[in-house]
Amino acid sequence: MNALNLLFQFADNFAFVVLAAVGLAVIFGMMGVINLGHGEFIMIGAYGTTLSANAGAPLPVAMAIGVLVTAVMGLILERTIIHRLYDRLFDSMVATWALGLILTQGMRILFGNSIPQVSTPLGNIAYGEFSYSTYRVLLLPVALLVLGGLYVLFTRTEFGIRARATIQDPDTARALGVDTDRMYTATFVIGSALAGLTGALYAPTLTVVPGMGSSFLVEAFVAVVVGGPSVLLGTTLSGGLLGTIDAVFTNLFGTFYGQIAMLLTAIVVIRVLSDGLTGLVETVRNRVEGE
Amino acid sequence: MSGKRSGLSRRSFLATGGAIGGAALAGCLTGGGSGEETVKLGIIEDRSGNFALNGTPKYNASMLAIEELNEEGGILGNEIETFAPDPQSDNQRYQQLTRQAINEENVDALWAGYSSATRETIRPIIDQNEQLYFYTTQYEGGVCDSYTFCMGATARQQLGSVLPYMVENFGTDIYTIAADYNFGQLSADWVRVLADENDANVIGEEFIPLSVTDFGSTINNIQDADPDFVMALLVGANHTSFWNQRTSAGLDVPMGTSTVMAQGYQHKRLDPPAMANVYGGFNYMEEIPTDRNQEFVSRYYEKFPDAAYINEEAVNNYFSIKMYARAAEAVGSTNQADIIEELEKGMDVSAPEGDISLQGPVHHMTHNMRVFRCDEDHTITVEDEQQISEQFLSETVGCNLRENEETTQYVPADYYEEADATQE
Amino acid sequence: MGLADALDRLRRPFEGPNTLGNGRAFWVGFLVVLVGLVGYPIGFGSYAASSAALYLLYAILALSLTVIWGYTGILSFGQVAFFGVAGYSFALLSMNLESALTTMLALPVAVGIAALAALVLGYFMFYGEVRDVYVTILTLVVALVLNTFMAQTAGSEWTVGSVALGGFNGIPAIPSLTFGVGETAITLDGAAFYWFTLAALVASYLGLRALVNGRFGYAMVATREDEDRTEMLGYDVRRVKLLVFVLGGALAGLSGVLYATWGNYISPSVFGITFASIPVVWVAVGGRRSLLGAVVATVVIEWFRQQLSATGSQYALIVVGVVLLASILFVPEGVVPRLDAAIRGARDRFGASNDAPEGTPE
């Protein structure tokens, strides 16, 4: 086993788990809504990026467009549908599942079974007989940046304080003058934008087709379960844990064992640390925030 | 017309008794529509879901063949009707629709399904109802079934055209990456058999779950093994991500394939040079430069101006519908048993890929196999061309459907030591 | 007088505040519909019956979720896991020990395995203090693990006895259910399978009605409404949840065995996210606190999806999505409870008196 290989594969897997999960985790952790259309939100981000790039936009601009499109879609869906379902969390799952169905088939009707794909930029890092895609490795710092940004947003800004107050006790927050409706809307839009960002980032390196969203779902849900209700630390920790396990097992035994090991880890973590990890994460976060 | 051997299965007849059976029979007859005046073909191909990319061209080409036949007066002077639902890439839906096609729509012949999984899901229903069925995807091979005609090239035909070419041009060390399911496993077995026949070695083998989109470790493993060429038997949208990733990682070892480009037209969808130096063994790609093919291609795009590509399977649907029509004309009815008997005599077929022939006793085609090369700009060139017949069933197994009724799928591991992975 | 009294006595165990459709009128209607369903294969033939049997066996899966989710408040996203485990178990058992007797025995054994799987998972969750929405995600993850695992069992090393697991392709040629031995054996096929499935569905439905209207049913509803208070009243909430979960697993397993024999086929797609979501959709649309709602919604939705697919229209899936969205947004309590309320409203307006205490499903 080559150490650099393992390192790059870990970077790759960590970024994938974190980016797949982060949009879902924000919406779930902050609002308790399970967005079963999460994969399709990612797909919309990827379509927005790829179509803009095909129309001539430079890749970074195209990615920004992809994020924007998904965020706007999230805003519209929140105002028209999701906000009616906040006190009916399980119904919101059915509704988002239906939305996913409509989005997938809608994109197929609009743009066909496939669109011309963008190629991966930035070349590769070569070392000895091996090489690794630079772009894929760079997704690790991007994922960390996203997490860092969210941390600042939710703990260091007025908005974040209001948002967390809304989550912890909506009635009191409302009594103190927080517009909780707007907080929910904003959180959903942020979650959508993050899903869009994931789609944008993976558009040049995955296959952009209407059904692509499903390839993120397993990692996203597993990471959210393992991470627990504490969105940021939870996602980071589960990204680290699952990314490591996936990289090691894949390297040693092959891709299938990587996947299975990751899923089994999730089950074990939930059972052994169900309260423990949640509690642990909460304590750690409180301590970090308390400083 | 009600040309089936029996409208309902014997088993259900026994189980439910005469009265119910009678009712079912009545249902069958009334369900058939206008009686003697029509020929009805069932075309069950995915136009949504995971396999829509492959299924849509199959549907299109079927409609083109039927339209052309109808312009020439249909079959036996009757206009051809179709039953063409969308199974949405869902195998359970396939089961329901296949039953509906047979029992309610009384189709005279059926074209259905892209993946092997789909074929194996519906084949019991086909056999139970003794329904004439055409399966047109290039596939792992070995299906010896009295009611099923496999129109696609088998793995032995596809790999048998490209693998010897690769060995001759690049060397003898082969690394196989294959989709981790029945088709991929059997195809990898065939790579081993063919490697042995061509004095080459498989130095590494990796099976990749269909859900995998990240190929970082696979690419490292290939670099580690340092083969002369890779046989990439990847399947589905997730695996298409491999090509961008290997290009981005700078993995430039030549690659042979029997699965990509001709089915999922990756060379049209991906940005060059993702598919550079990929060599495929196929019976068809729309780039075949012959006049006959180019005429066919322009007819297709005239009818479907927005279509994306004509894949291997689509052309197999096209020529097999025409072949069916000729068989029906020859026997003078749409009686399925008679048509099967007629087809089992063998038939020469003029297909877009060239002149090919049906091997009657095994229900497979002798195909005009070509080695296609994709270059840096994603231009396709033909490097090699030869007729390759179905050999596994006809020569190795000794399947003869003219003499024996069978519904078996044979696998190479039972006949070749090299193919039996458990021996190592 | 005597007959009416006898009927009233007969229906009493199945009635109570936890179900819709109490009173004589409902049971008369129930019998009429039942007679119609029994007669369906005679009128429409064995093909129509075998198509309909699929919807009926799905309805059992829907019932399994209703009792867990609607009555006990635990949303299991993994009912398909037990459905699939039982289907695979049945396939492996019946194909390894192929004789009429074992095919018959494989049914209860496979259902037992599903119940056991539910017991293990349920114990793991409820005694491990996994709660609320985490149960939902965990059950979904379990289904996805099974999906990933089964999808890669294509290699020749993955055989159980003489049967290959088949990976993504699944296991074809699973035998149909057979009752009896040797010459007298009856293979359940076509109409006979339909009747068997209908009987299983009716038995499940009536059994659950009796259950939820009995003592245990009140404990279930109390658990759903307030776990802590229920605990204080002396109920072991974890045990209630576990028992319901096992019952749900067994019912899902029964449905799964019927599914495997219906198409003589099972594949890992039964564990996939699409199929996992469908029972939630049926139950949510039908009215999750209504057993009847789950059955009706399942049959109607599946019939509707099949009809749309047969049209070959590319808008089929869009229509399905829009209809689901609309029903969630505009009929939040579920279609069947809404209909029930409408009928009762109409009856009240015409002054008809109710002859039994009416249920309050909410």
Distances (CA, A) of B283 to A14, B153, C143: 42, 7, 40
HSE at residue B412, side-chain half, CA atoms within 13 A, is: 26
Residue B1 has pLDDT above 50, yes or no: no
Does A132 contact B at CB distance below 8 Å? yes
What is the per-residue pLDDT across B282-327, written as a single tens digit (0 to 9) for each?
A: 999 999 999 999 999 999 999 999 898 999 999 999 999 999 999 9
* Residues B140 and B254 occupy one common structural domain: no
Single out the residue of B209, B239, A257 nearest to residue C152, CA to CA: B209
C189 contact B CB<8A: yes
Segment 103-122 of chain C within 8 Å of chain B by CB? none
Comparing CB atoms, the residue among A9, A116, A124 nearest residue B217 is: A9
- Separation in Å, CA of C254 to nearest CA in chain B: 18
pLDDT digits (tens, 9 = 90+) for B25-83: 333 433 333 345 689 999 999 988 888 889 999 999 999 999 999 999 989 989 999 99
Domain count, chain C: 1
Is residue A130 left, alpha or beta, with left meaning phi > 0 and alpha meaning psi from -120 to 50? beta
pLDDT, tens digit, 9 for 90 and up, residues A204-217: 888 888 888 888 88
Taking a contact as any Cβ pair under 8 Å apart, which residues of chain A between 32 and 91 contact chain B? none
Question: Looking at the predicted structure, is the pLDDT value of residue B23 above 50?
Answer: no
Find, in chain A, the residue whose alpha carbon is nearest to that of B273: A119
Beta-bridged to residue C71, according to DSSP, are none
Give the pLDDT of residue B299.
93
Nearest to B391 by CA among B421, B416, B372, B371: B416
In 3D space, the residue among B354, B317, B263, B305 whose CA is nearest the CA of residue B61 turns out to be B317
The backbone torsions φ and ψ at residue C172, rounded to the nearest 5 degrees and listed phi first, read -90, 175
Q: Give me the residues paired with residue B386 across strands.
A: B369
User: Which phi and psi angles does C97 have, rounded to 5°?
Assistant: -115, 65
Q: Are strands C178-179 and C186-187 parallel, antiparallel or unpaired?
A: antiparallel
Q: Is the domain of B280 the same as that of B216? A: yes
Looking at the 3D structure of chain B, how many domains does it have? 2
> Residue B299 sits in a domain of what CATH number?
3.40.50.2300
Indicate whether C33 belongs to any domain: no
Residue B409 within any structural domain of the chain: no
CA distances from B369 to B169, B366, B423 (A): 18, 9, 32
Contact list, A135 vs chain B (CB under 8 Å): 248
The verdict on B103 and B167 lying in the same domain is no
Please check whether residues B65 and B17 belong to one and the same domain: yes
- Give contacts of A259 with chain C, Cβ < 8 Å: 148
Mind listing the pLDDT tens digit for each residue in A260-281? 787 778 777 776 665 435 555 5
Structure tokens given for B404 = 């024996």
Distance CA C167, CA B2 (A): 38
Asked if residue C16 is part of any domain, the answer here is no
- Is B211 close to A209, i.e. CB distance below 8 A? no
Q: Do B91 and C154 touch (CB under 8 A)?
A: no
Answer whether A277's CB lies under 8 Å from A230's CB.
no
Q: How far apart are CA B317 and CA B365, in angstroms?
A: 13
The 10 Å Cβ neighbour count of residue C86 is 33
Helices (H), strands (E): how many in chain B? 12, 16
Q: What tens digit of pLDDT does each residue of A81-95 get? A: 888 887 777 788 888
Nearest to C133 among A32, A108, A263 (CB): A32
The helix/strand/coil state of C120 is helix
Touching subunits for chain B (3+ Cβ pairs under 8 A):
A, C
Contact between C321 and A221 using a beta-carbon 8 Å cutoff: no
Same domain, B126 and B99: yes
- How does strand B109-112 pair with strand B39-44? parallel
For the ranges A58-62, B14-18, B80-84, C279-283, the lowest mean pLDDT is seen at B14-18
Does the beta carbon of B377 lie under 8 angstroms from any beta carbon of chain A?
no
Q: Which of B99, B307, B115, B282 is nearest to A114 (CA)?
A: B307
Verify that B53 and B102 share a domain, yes or no.
yes
- Whether B202 and B232 map to the same domain: the answer is yes
CB atoms within 10 A of CB A246: 28
Looking at residue C12, its pLDDT comes to 78
Structure-token match 């939630």, residue found = C280
For the packed helices B91-99 and C24-65, what is the interaxial angle rounded to 10 degrees?
130
From CA B224, how far away is CA B315, in angstroms rounded? 39
Domain for residue B383, yes or no? no
Predicted local distance difference test score (pLDDT) of residue C88: 94
In chain C, the residue whose alpha carbon lies closest to the alpha carbon of A271 is: C128
B361/B231 same-domain check: no
Residue B275 lies in a domain: yes
Give dist(CA A271, CA C254) in Å, integer: 28
Q: Where are the alpha helices (DSSP H) in chain A?
A: 3-31, 38-54, 59-80, 89-111, 134-156, 158-168, 170-175, 180-202, 214-227, 231-253, 255-290
Give the type of residue at A106: G
The reply to whether A120 touches chain B by the CB within 8 Å rule is yes
| Crossing angle of the two packed helices A134-156 and A3-31, in degrees rounded to 10 | 30
Cis preceding linkage at B273, omega within 30:
yes
Is B251 close to A251, i.e. CB distance below 8 A?
Answer: no
Q: Among all residues of chain B, which has the CA nearest to that of C41? A: B20
DSSP assignment, residue B153?
P
Residue C98 lies in a domain: yes
Q: How far is the C-alpha of A250 from the C-alpha of B206, rounded, in Å? A: 11
Looking at chain C, which subunits does it touch, using at least 3 CB pairs closer than 8 Å as the criterion?
A, B
Cα distance between residue C71 and residue C289, in whole Å = 6
Closest CA to B351 of B316, B390, B302: B316
Window 220-279 of B, Cβ < 8 Å to A: 220, 223-224, 226, 237-238, 240-241, 244-245, 247-251, 268-272, 274
**Backbone Cα Rg of chain B:** 22
Same domain, B16 and B142: yes
Which residues, at least 6 apart from C170, have a Cβ–Cβ distance to it below 8 Å? B91, B117, B120, B121, C265, C266, C267, C268, C269
Q: How many CA atoms lie within 13 A of C268 on its CB side?
A: 24
What residues make up the domain containing C156? 56-167+185-284
Separation CA B418–CA B403 (nearest Å): 30
At CB < 8 Å, which residues of chain A contact C?
28, 32, 34, 36, 81, 84-85, 88-91, 93-95, 97-102, 104-106, 108-109, 214, 217-218, 221-222, 224-225, 256, 259-260, 263-264, 266-267, 270-271, 274-275
Model confidence at B87: pLDDT above 50: yes
Establish if C46 belongs to a structural domain.
Answer: no
CB-based contact B144:B408 (threshold 8 Å): yes
CB proximity C260 to A under 8 Å: no
Bridge partners (DSSP) of residue C265 are C172
Contact check, Cβ <8 Å, A118/B247? no
Break chain A into its structural domains and give their ranges: 3-213
- Chain B residues in contact with A110 by the CB 8 A cut-off are none
pLDDT at A273: 65
Is B253 part of a structural domain of the chain? Answer: yes
pLDDT tens digit at each of 362 positions of chain C:
566 777 777 777 788 777 877 777 888 888 899 998 888 888 888 888 888 999 999 999 999 999 999 899 888 888 999 999 999 999 998 888 766 566 778 889 999 999 999 999 998 888 877 777 778 888 888 888 888 888 888 777 788 878 888 888 888 888 888 876 666 667 777 888 899 999 999 999 999 998 988 888 888 888 888 888 888 888 888 899 999 999 999 999 999 999 999 888 899 989 988 888 889 888 888 888 888 889 999 999 899 888 888 887 878 788 888 888 888 888 877 787 888 888 878 877 765 444 444 444 43
For residue B348, what is the enclosing H or E element? strand B347-351
In sequence order, what are the residues at sequence separation of 6 or more whose Cβ sits closer than 8 angstroms to the Cβ of residue B368? B283, B351, B353, B354, B355, B356, B385, B386, B387
Neighbours of C182 (CB within 10 A): 8
Domain contains B177: yes
Nearest chain A residue to B178 by CA: give it.
A255
- Say yes or no for a CB contact (<8 Å) between C44 and B420: no
- Which residue in B has a C-alpha nearest to residue A208's C-alpha? B237
Q: What are phi and psi of C168, to 5 degrees?
A: -55, -35
CB count within 10 Å of CB C189 equals: 26
Q: How confident is the model at residue A112 (pLDDT cuts 50, 70, 90)?
A: confident
| C218 in a structural domain | yes
Shared domain check, B328 and B258: no
Domain hosting residue B222, numbered range: 156-285+414-423
Contact B226 A259 (CB under 8 A): no
Residues of chain A with Cβ-Cβ distance to B217 below 8 Å are 5, 9, 247, 250-251, 255, 258
**Do both B148 and B293 map to the same domain?**
yes
Kindly tell me the sign of the dihedral angle through the C-alpha atoms of A199, A205, A209, A211: negative
State how far the alpha carbon of A275 is from the alpha carbons of A224, A229, A265, B18, in Å. Answer: 15, 11, 16, 63
Distance between CA atoms of residues B372 and B256, nearest Å: 10
Residue of A nearest to C130 (CA): A274
Kindly state whether residues B124 and B195 are assigned to the same domain.
Answer: no
